[in-house]
């Protein structure tokens, strides 16, 4: 597939102070687009200046929410070269999300070619400071202007890019987590395993309430019995008992995180015992109280690892371990970020070098 490139005539100034980047506020000069029409497949891959879409107010995505996305990063190595971490896993997951939402599977090869070309055009936008990266947001939405609940026939796939700051400017920092026992994120047979927009819309209220109580994330329990640990915010959840790491097994309502899979792989390679199981929140609380639970942390692309300092449910507030960063959390964080930024050898074939 030939990718048509139209360059902007009005490039924006690149950010001068990379310590002020934050997350997802600034976008680069160009974006990649590709359309899907039923009967035709994916057509017209193109790179165009970043800008607003023309969209009909009846566009189906605005009414019935056929919208899915992905999140990954482009990293700048110390030698100035650029690299991606497991990008094809993100596109494969997007196809799985699409299938559940009755959207077309992605042309994963065309999407990857589009991403590589877009990054070639935007290479100067990948920030240089330690811990910074260029966040990549592939998205797919239903475009038909038609009311009536059924699958659309025209979809738009696009990729936008946003330079983001270092998640941890002063080293890993533990967060306090609120166990949500009223609202649920996903249910059996639902869309929990997909990155569909509706999952996030449904999560905002609980997140907002937790924040007002002074907690930075919500720990989600299962949507059937509200007894078992699912995820924390938009991260997968892991617990350490000495040299054993346990995490909820993938059950259809949990998002299969690429960071989750990578951390479990690295942990096994480092000699830790790894167990995927159904984890009752009551057991986690009892183990935190008795001191058997030594560490707890979330995993995801944005933070890589987010250690948990305090866990709260109703009026009970528990400190995990000594409330500081655990040694396993720190080791796994150092190793995975080392691989991603190219300071540690990648033995698993995860890195795609672009330059
Ligand atoms: C994206 C996401 C994750 C983490 O996935 P990664 O591939 O590791 O970034 C976990 N849970 C939810 C709900 C997510 O949306």
CA distance 341 to 205: 35
Residue 32 to residue 48: CA distance in whole angstroms: 7
Sequential DSSP letters for 276-288: EE--BHHHHHHHH
* CB of residue 257 inside a 6 A radius of ligand 1: yes
Compute, in angstroms, the gap from residue 234 CA to the centroid of ligand 1: 5
Q: Tell me if 258 CB under 6 Å of ligand 1.
A: yes
Q: Nearest to residue 139, comparing CAs of 61, 85, 191? A: 61
Q: Which atom of ligand 1 is nearest to the CA of 203?
A: 13
pLDDT band at 173 (very low <50, low <70, confident <90, very high): confident
Strands (E), 145-294: 154-164, 175-180, 217-221, 229-232, 235-241, 244-248, 273-277
Distances (CA, A) of 111 to 47, 60, 350: 12, 23, 18
Instruction: For residue 105, give the DSSP letter.
Output: P
* Top mutation candidate among 91, 229, 237, 257 for ligand 1, by most atoms within 8 Å of CB: 257
Can you tell me which atom of ligand 1 is nearest the CA of 93?
7
Q: How confident is the model at residue 7 (pLDDT cuts 50, 70, 90)?
A: very high
pTM (two decimals): 0.97
pLDDT tens readout for residues 57-100: 999 999 999 999 999 999 999 999 999 999 999 999 999 999 99
> What is the number of the ligand 1 atom nearest to the C-alpha of 260?
8
CA distance 257 to 193: 9
DSSP string, 50-100: S-PPP--TTBHHHHH--EEE--EEEEE-TTS-EEEESHHHHHHHHHHHHHH
Do 93 and 195 form a contact (C-beta atoms < 8 A)?
yes
> Is the CB of residue 257 less than 8 Å from the CB of residue 236?
yes
CA distance 44 to 167: 36
CA 9 / ligand 1 centre spacing (Å): 36
Q: Is the CB of 76 under 6 A from ligand 1?
A: no
Q: What is the pLDDT of residues 264-274, one digit of tens each?
A: 999 999 999 99
Q: What is the pLDDT of residue 1?
A: 78
């Amino acid at each position: 597939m030939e990718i048509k490139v139209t360059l902007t005539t009005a490039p924006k100034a690149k950010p001068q102070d990379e310590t002020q980047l934050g997350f997802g506020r600034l976008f680069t000069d160009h974006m990649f687009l590709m359309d899907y029409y039923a009967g035709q497949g994916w057509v017209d891959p193109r790179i165009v200046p970043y800008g607003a879409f023309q969209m009909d107010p009846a566009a189906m995505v605005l009414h019935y929410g056929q919208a899915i996305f992905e999140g990954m990063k482009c990293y700048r190595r110390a030698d100035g070269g650029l690299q991606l971490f497991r990008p094809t896993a993100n596109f494969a997951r997007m196809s799985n999300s699409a299938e559940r939402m009755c959207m077309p599977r992605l042309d994963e090869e065309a999407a990857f070619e589009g991403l590589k070309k877009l990054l070639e055009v935007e290479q100067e936008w990948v920030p240089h400071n330690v811990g910074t990266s260029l966040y990549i947001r592939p998205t797919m939405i239903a475009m038909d202007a038609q009311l009536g609940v059924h699958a659309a026939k025209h979809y738009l796939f696009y990729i936008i890019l946003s330079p983001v700051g270092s998640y941890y400017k002063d080293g890993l920092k533990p967060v306090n987590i609120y166990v949500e026992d009223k609202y649920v994120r996903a249910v059996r047979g639902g869309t929990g395993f997909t990155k569909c927009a509706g999952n996030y819309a449904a999560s905002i209220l609980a997140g907002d309430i937790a924040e007002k109580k002074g907690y930075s994330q919500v720990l989600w329990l299962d949507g059937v019995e509200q007894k078992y640990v699912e995820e924390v915010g938009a991260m997968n959840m892991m617990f350490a008992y000495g040299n054993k790491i346990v995490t909820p097994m993938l059950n259809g309502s949990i998002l299969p995180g690429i960071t989750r899979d990578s951390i479990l792989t690295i942990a096994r390679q480092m000699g830790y015992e790894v167990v995927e199981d159904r984890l009752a929140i009551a057991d986690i609380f009892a183990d935190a109280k008795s001191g058997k639970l030594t560490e707890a942390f979330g995993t995801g692309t944005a933070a890589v690892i987010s250690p948990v300092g305090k866990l709260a449910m109703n009026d009970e507030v528990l400190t995990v371990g000594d409330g500081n960063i655990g040694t396993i959390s720190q080791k796994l964080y150092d190793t995975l970020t080392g691989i991603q930024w190219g300071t540690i050898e990648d033995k698993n074939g995860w890195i795609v070098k672009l330059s």
